[in-house]
């Protein structure tokens, strides 16, 4: 059998992160694309999360090996590998959270939108299965272009009659992770205490970090510093793509960011109060139907989409210039889902 489950000894991790693995509720998490560059380290990080009781690793190839490997880590969750479309249903059944890093990554010279033709179809297939096998799961969409794949997912779910706007998330956490790292470096403050909201979307200029709201406040940053930090955050993915020189895009930092976001979703589901992360969700805080902003997470997914707060003039300008591109990426996703 391809299933490789293993039960961890509960006594070994009773006091992890203030939770007892016995009191934390059962939660099944699936990673779709689990044998990939993001999928493998993300599978490992989810295996380390004591809030997970079942971890399903799905891909079109390679998951039996990844699952066997990860399953030997002595933490709470039981790991199972699923390979090929005929096992997708089993992977999804009973899931609380489905994380999707399936699809092709960028190579130098490519934009995220260049991935559209391949990844749109993959996302459509996977979301069709989610609607069938775990319609109530929270979906964490990592596959690019996120600005289009999230609207595609929404349309697929609407057609299936399972759409719940509180349960669909585009993962933009890596933009936040980068903004925090770059800000801490420039402002010379300890990175652990830094918070920076990032709003808009997840591609180029649609990524809008709000450094005017960054904490702790830094009084040593000039307007030019803020412009440079903004550009570096927007181009952070491309920085990695170029450094990897044809071998793909961010995988390790993305796995970290994906694990942070999934952990926030799990905490929200478990009733932890005041869990807030930025995410690309259905939104009415601007005229666009989907928009990334701070979101409060709860037992049903999105508890509240938080507003943008006060913006600097530079950020207001950035907001206006990102809208046309984000709007057309959203429309492209909706059109794809409805024509094919
Ligand atoms: P990769 O090529 O290393 O891995 C992708 C995996 O998806 C492969 O194992 C492949 O077999 C699998 N896959 C392909 N078709 C599938 C299907 N129909 N069902 C299930 N699995 C399937 O790529 P990598 O580097 O892991 O990137 C994955 C995606 O994540 C890309 O679209 C990339 O652009 C995106 N990404 C998103 C980021 C974000 O911030 N949201 C950051 C970095 C990457």
214 appears as a binding residue in the annotation: no
**Percent of the chain topping pLDDT 70:** 93
Q: Is the pLDDT of residue 43 over 50?
A: yes
Q: Kindly tell me if the per-residue pLDDT of 253 is higher than 80.
A: yes
Asked if the model's pLDDT at residue 252 lies above 80, the reply is yes
Q: Provide φ and ψ at 207, rounded to 5°.
A: -85, 110
Region for residue 112 given its phi and psi (left: phi exceeds 0; alpha: psi -120 to 50; beta: otherwise): alpha
Phi, psi of 210 (to 5 degrees): -100, 80
Residue (of 252, 202, 184) closest to 36 by Cα position:
252
Rounded CA separation 142/171 (Å):
5
Residue 15 has pLDDT above 90, yes or no: no
Supply the residue whose CA is at minimum distance from atom 41 of ligand 1.
142
pLDDT the model gives residue 23: 79
Question: Is residue 106 part of an annotated ligand binding site?
Answer: yes
pLDDT of 22 reads 56
pLDDT in tens, 95-111: 999 999 999 999 899 99
Active site residues: 202
pTM (predicted TM-score) = 0.94
- Cα(119) to ligand 1 centroid in Å equals 8
pLDDT given for residue 127 in this prediction: 98
The SS3 of residue 254 is helix
- CA–centroid distance, residue 205 to ligand 1 (Å): 22
179-232 tens-digit pLDDT: 999 999 999 999 999 999 999 999 999 999 999 999 999 989 999 999 999 999
Rounded mean pLDDT, 287-293: 98
Contact residues of ligand 1, CB 6 A cut-off: 32-33, 35-39, 59-61, 101-106, 115, 119, 122, 125-126, 142-144, 146, 171, 174, 202, 248-251, 254
Atom of ligand 1 nearest to the CA of 170: 41
Across 122-144, average pLDDT: 98
> In which band, very low, low, confident or very high, does the pLDDT at 340 lie, cut at 50, 70 and 90?
low
Q: What is the mean pLDDT of residues 156-168?
A: 98
Question: Beta strand 54-59 with 275-282: parallel, antiparallel or unpaired?
Answer: unpaired
Q: What is the pLDDT of residues 16-40, one digit of tens each?
A: 444 555 579 999 999 999 999 999 9
Q: 136: pLDDT confidence band, cut at 50, 70 and 90?
A: very high
Hunting for tokens 């509720």 — which residue is that?
Answer: 25
- 216 Cα to the center of ligand 1, angstroms: 34
Q: Which two tokens stand for residue 338?
A: 């409805």
Collapse the DSSP code of 33 into the 3-class scheme (helix H, G, I; strand E, B; otherwise coil) and give the result.
coil
pLDDT tens for 51-75 read 999 999 999 999 999 999 999 999 9
Query: Across all residues in the chain, what is the average pLDDT?
Result: 94
pLDDT for residue 3:
45
């Amino acid at each position: 059998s391809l299933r490789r489950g293993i039960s961890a000894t509960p006594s070994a991790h009773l006091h992890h992160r203030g939770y007892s693995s016995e009191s934390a509720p059962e939660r099944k998490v699936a990673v779709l694309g689990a044998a990939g560059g993001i999928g493998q380290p993300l599978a490992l990080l989810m295996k380390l999360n004591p809030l997970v009781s079942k971890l399903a690793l799905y891909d079109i190839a390679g998951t039996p090996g990844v699952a066997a490997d990860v399953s030997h880590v002595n933490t709470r969750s039981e790991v199972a590998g699923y390979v090929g479309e005929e096992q997708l249903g089993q992977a999804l059944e009973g899931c609380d959270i489905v994380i999707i890093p399936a699809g092709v990554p960028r190579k130098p010279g490519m934009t995220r939108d260049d991935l559209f033709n391949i990844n749109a179809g993959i996302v459509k297939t996977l979301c069709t299965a989610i609607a069938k096998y775990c319609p109530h799961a929270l979906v964490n969409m990592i596959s690019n272009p996120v600005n289009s794949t999230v609207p595609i997912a929404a349309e697929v779910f609407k057609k299936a009659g399972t759409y719940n706007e509180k349960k669909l998330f585009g993962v933009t956490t890596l933009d936040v992770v980068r903004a925090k790292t770059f800000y801490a470096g420039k402002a010379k403050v300890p990175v652990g205490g830094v918070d920076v909201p990032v709003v808009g979307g997840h591609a180029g200029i649609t990524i809008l970090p709000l450094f005017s709201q960054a904490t702790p406040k830094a009084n040593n940053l000039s307007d030019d510093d803020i412009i440079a930090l903004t550009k570096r955050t927007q181009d952070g993915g491309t920085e990695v793509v170029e450094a990897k020189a044809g071998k793909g895009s961010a995988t390790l930092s993305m796995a970290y960011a994906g694990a942070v976001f999934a952990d926030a979703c799990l905490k929200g589901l478990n009733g932890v109060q005041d869990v807030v992360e930025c995410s690309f969700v259905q939104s009415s805080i601007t005229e666009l139907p989907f928009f990334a902003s701070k979101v409060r997470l709860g037992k049903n997914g999105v508890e509240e989409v938080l507003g943008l707060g006060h913006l600097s003039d530079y950020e207001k300008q950035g907001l206006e210039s990102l809208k046309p591109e984000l709007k057309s990426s959203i429309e492209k996703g909706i059109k794809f889902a409805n024509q094919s």
